[in-house]
């Protein structure tokens, strides 16, 4: 199965699309102002202890204090607090733990006020980004994720991913990791480490150790709310977790992003450098590869299935509900039971994709079309389980109930992706009254005349909906060709289906948007 990664950067942030067999399966929007990412490690300050919840609220710089439960402290939080105190006081100048005296583990059923104190500085890691009205969720069980292994300070265990099932390989990895891991650091071996040489595994661990030590050096001069160790950006983390032989293309549209990703790929998989490409076309990257249309069609309330059925996706504060409908499809199935099975199997594949695409979390209830045969219900459950295997988030899947409902819980660590697929008229802003759309071509031409004759702009480009693009380029002579004769200047027209039919944007020769008053 071929995989592609498409990355488009802008001033507002970065859009990342993961495609498999040309189909969009993951979509991420990384906003530039969002500074609280899963995996980031901060120097926080304990603001409040709530013994009734057995939790603390910690200030890490977000508008609302972050939440830290006792169960998320980790067994070795006392050792972490001791190290934090020693480094801040500059009695230690590195993160090496070879000669560090570990503190006793805390009681699993203890109370948070026996471990933490108000206004205490504490090293914490973000495990869930701010969602809705809630602040970030934190943990003191610090870990540094690498490509092949996760480094866990203040631990001495070596654990192997359960997905590595070969007994001989598990034994080999355990022996190798035990021999290369530093003192007072634990290791969690990831699935992609299977069959890798010791040099690659050791290099990955050394990179994580260096990251930890750099963070401890920063801690010596850090102030409360400072980020001590930053998780890599979303694009790099996807490559770290997923980059394998199935990847045949990674495309980016900015030189800075190209250089950053090339350096990262050189570190983790040098043989994959050749698949990285820098896009320099005229149209927007997502528009060029047909992603804008996919995004618009996949994030709506109604999602079509290949055989004629469709899904209705509803969101509430407490859960997500997905209804499966057969529609007015015509097929070759002999009876209602076979039609229901066929549609449900198609729906299971699309639902697994939708959960990844929208990053839906919490409780999801799926109302499948009723089936009477027990073997068909089991077949549907097995299909859903197989489709969900590719999901990187933790999930629990229950068999169908007697009412044909399937219950899914899926780990949610980031806000759900929500794309507005219904376009609001840019002229009336949803009031329902606009000037005649037939005049939009006149408005564009009036603005163009103003830019070319009064402002003397050169090499003007116009981004507009494909319908408008077709109108201005059709026929001979086309309206665009007439502009050339009239203004002695060639105007570039850029298709952009993310714009509404009556929307357009002007750009100068440097690619900067030209602000122009409506006429």
Residue-wise pLDDT tens digits, 164-191: 889 999 999 999 998 888 888 999 998 8
**What are the Cα distances from residue 414, in Å, to 34, 122, 139, 213, 351?**
11, 23, 15, 28, 19
Between helix 255-268 and helix 234-242 the angle, nearest 10°, is 30
pLDDT tens-digit map of 305-320: 888 888 999 887 778 9
Structure tokens at 127: 């495990």
User: What three-state secondary structure class fits 238?
Assistant: helix
Structure tokens at 437: 């759309």
pLDDT at 130 over 90: no
DSSP 457-488: --S-EEEE-HHHHHHHH-SSS-HHHHHHHHHS
Residue 121: pLDDT band (50, 70, 90) is: very high
- b vs e for 85-94, b when ≥16 Cβ sit within 10 Å of the residue's Cβ? eebbeeebee
pLDDT at 410 over 60: yes
The most confident of 32-36, 62-66, 132-136, 326-330, by mean pLDDT: 62-66
Element of type H or E holding 85: helix 77-88
Residue 115 to residue 107: CA distance in whole angstroms = 10
Q: What is the dihedral of CA 33, 36, 38, 41, to 10 degrees?
A: 130
What is the model's pTM? Answer: 0.67
User: What three-state secondary structure class fits 440?
Assistant: helix
User: What three-state secondary structure class fits 141?
Assistant: coil
E-only strand ranges, 137-267: 137-139, 144-145, 149-153, 158-160, 185-189, 227-229, 247-252
Contact between residue 408 and residue 398 where contact means Cβ atoms under 8 Å apart: yes
The mean per-residue pLDDT over the stretch 286-313 comes to 83
DSSP 350-414: HHHHHHHHHT--EEEEEEPPP---HHHHHHHHHHHHHHHTT--S-EEE----TTSEEEEEE---S
Give the sign of the dihedral formed by CA 409, CA 410, CA 416, CA 417. Answer: negative
Residue 444: pLDDT band (50, 70, 90) is: confident
The mean per-residue pLDDT over the stretch 365-393 comes to 90
Residue 146: pLDDT band (50, 70, 90) is: confident
pLDDT tens-digit map of 484-513: 888 888 889 988 887 877 788 888 888 888
Closest CA relative to residue 147, chosen from 105, 90, 206: 206
Contact between residue 413 and residue 128 where contact means Cβ atoms under 8 Å apart: yes
Contact between residue 288 and residue 279 where contact means Cβ atoms under 8 Å apart: yes
Residue 381: pLDDT band (50, 70, 90) is: very high
Between helix 440-449 and helix 479-487 the angle, nearest 10°, is 20
**Which residues have CB under 8 Å from 488's CB, separation 6+?**
none
pLDDT tens-digit map of 85-118: 988 888 887 778 888 888 999 998 899 999 999 9
Residue 352 to residue 347: CA distance in whole angstroms = 9
The pLDDT, as a whole number, for residue 128 is 86
The pLDDT, as a whole number, for residue 438 is 60
Burial of 464 (0-12, 13-18, 19+ CB in 10 A): buried
pLDDT at 160 over 60: yes
**What are the Cα distances from residue 382, in Å, to 21, 322, 376, 395?**
23, 19, 10, 15
The pLDDT, as a whole number, for residue 330 is 47
The pLDDT, as a whole number, for residue 332 is 54
Structure tokens at 488: 């002695």
The pLDDT, as a whole number, for residue 432 is 56
CB atoms within 10 A of CB 68: 26
Contact between residue 276 and residue 262 where contact means Cβ atoms under 8 Å apart: yes
Closest CA relative to residue 155, chosen from 80, 208, 215: 80
pLDDT at 296 over 80: no
pLDDT at 517 over 90: no
pLDDT at 11 over 50: yes
Pick the more confident residue, 454 or 374. Answer: 374
pLDDT at 427 over 60: no
The pLDDT, as a whole number, for residue 307 is 82
**Which residues have CB under 8 Å from 251's CB, separation 6+?**
4, 5, 6, 7, 277, 278, 279, 285, 289
Contact between residue 371 and residue 340 where contact means Cβ atoms under 8 Å apart: yes
DSSP 88-114: HTTS--S---TT--PPPPPPTT--GGG
Residue 413: pLDDT band (50, 70, 90) is: low
> Cis omega (within 30 of 0) on the bond before 103?
no
First to last CA, the chain: 51
Decide the pairing of beta strands 247-252 and 276-278: parallel
Contact between residue 79 and residue 154 where contact means Cβ atoms under 8 Å apart: yes
pLDDT at 519 over 50: no
Residue 47: pLDDT band (50, 70, 90) is: very high
Percent of the chain with pLDDT over 90: 25
Percent of the chain with pLDDT over 70: 91
User: What three-state secondary structure class fits 445?
Assistant: helix
Please count the residues of the chain: 519
Burial of 28 (0-12, 13-18, 19+ CB in 10 A): buried
Contact between residue 261 and residue 238 where contact means Cβ atoms under 8 Å apart: no
Element of type H or E holding 45: strand 41-50
The pLDDT, as a whole number, for residue 163 is 85
Mean pLDDT of the chain: 84
pLDDT at 518 over 70: no
């Amino acid at each position: 199965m071929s995989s592609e990664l498409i990355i488009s950067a802008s001033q507002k942030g970065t859009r990342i699309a993961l495609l498999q067999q040309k189909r969009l399966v993951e979509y991420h929007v990384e906003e530039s102002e969002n500074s609280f990412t899963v995996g980031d490690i901060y120097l926080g300050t304990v603001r409040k202890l709530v013994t009734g919840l057995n939790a603390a609220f910690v200030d890490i710089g977000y508008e609302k204090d972050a939440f830290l439960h006792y169960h998320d402290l980790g067994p070795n939080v006392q050792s972490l607090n001791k190290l934090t105190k020693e480094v801040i006081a500059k009695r230690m100048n590195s993160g090496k733990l070879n000669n560090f005296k570990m503190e006793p583990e805390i009681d699993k059923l203890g109370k948070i006020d026996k471990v933490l104190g108000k206004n205490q500085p504490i090293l914490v890691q973000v495990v869930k980004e701010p969602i809705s009205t809630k602040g970030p969720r934190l943990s003191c069980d610090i870990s540094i994720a690498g490509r092949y292994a996760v480094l866990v300070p203040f631990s001495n265990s070596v654990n192997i991913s359960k997905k590595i099932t070969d007994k001989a390989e598990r034994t080999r990895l355990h022996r190798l990791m035990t021999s290369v891991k530093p003192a007072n650091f634990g290791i969690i071996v990831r699935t992609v480490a299977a069959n890798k040489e010791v040099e690659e595994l050791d290099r990955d661990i050394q990179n994580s150790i260096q990251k930890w030590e750099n963070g401890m050096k920063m801690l010596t001069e850090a102030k409360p709310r400072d980020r001590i160790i930053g998780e890599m950006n979303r694009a790099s983390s996807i490559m770290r977790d997923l980059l394998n032989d199935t990847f045949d293309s990674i495309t980016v549209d900015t030189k800075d992003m190209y250089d950053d990703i090339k350096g990262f790929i050189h570190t983790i998989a040098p043989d994959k450098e050749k698949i990285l490409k820098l896009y320099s076309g005229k149209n927007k990257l997502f528009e060029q590869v047909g992603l804008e249309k996919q995004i618009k069609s996949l994030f709506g309330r109604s999602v079509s299935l290949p055989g004629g059925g469709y899904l209705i996706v509803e969101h509430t504060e407490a859960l997500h509900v997905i209804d499966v409908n057969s529609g007015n499809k015509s097929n070759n199935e002999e009876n209602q039971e076979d039609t229901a099975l066929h549609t449900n199997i198609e729906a299971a594949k699309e639902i697994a994709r939708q959960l990844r695409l929208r990053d839906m979390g919490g409780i999801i209830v799926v109302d499948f079309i009723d089936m009477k045969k027990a073997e068909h219900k089991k077949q549907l459950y097995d299909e859903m389980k197989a489709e969900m295997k590719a999901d990187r988030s933790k999930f629990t899947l229950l068999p169908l109930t007697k009412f044909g409902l399937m219950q899914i819980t899926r780990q949610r660590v980031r806000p759900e992706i929500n794309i507005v697929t219904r376009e609001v008229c840019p002229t009336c802003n949803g009031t329902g009254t606009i000037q005649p759309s037939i005049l939009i071509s006149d408005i564009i031409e009036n603005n163009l005349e103003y830019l070319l004759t009064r402002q003397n702009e050169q090499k003007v480009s116009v981004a507009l909906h494909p319908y408008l693009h077709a109108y201005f380029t059709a026929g001979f002579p086309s309206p665009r060709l007439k502009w050339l004769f009239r203004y002695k200047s060639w105007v570039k027209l850029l298709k952009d289906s993310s714009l509404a039919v009556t929307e357009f944007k002007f750009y100068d020769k440097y690619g900067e948007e030209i602000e122009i008053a409506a006429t």
